[in-house]
Amino acid sequence: MGIDIYLYVFFTLLSVFILNGIHWEKFMKTGKVIEARLLVLTLSFGMSYLLTNFVLAFIE
């Protein structure tokens, strides 16, 4: 149980870092800053879940 928590945190931070490099103004309406941040968080949680499960399955 210990390693998966660290992997979730690591991949969440990595996903947020990666997704902040995208210019969301091109995909979102103007003035929708909160929605863009929520989209980045949601995508980050999804990516961290998938990456953590992949790494754990690969290890086992």
Cβ-proximal residues to 51 (8 Å cutoff; 6+ apart), any chain: 7, 11, 15
pLDDT > 90? residue 4:
no
Roughly how many angstroms between the first and final C-alpha of the chain, as a whole number?
Answer: 13
CA atoms of 25 and 12, how far apart (whole Å): 22
CA atoms of 13 and 11, how far apart (whole Å): 5
Residues 5-57: tens digit of each pLDDT: 999 999 999 999 999 888 887 888 888 888 888 999 999 999 999 999 999 99
| pLDDT classification of 1: cutoffs 50, 70, 90 | low
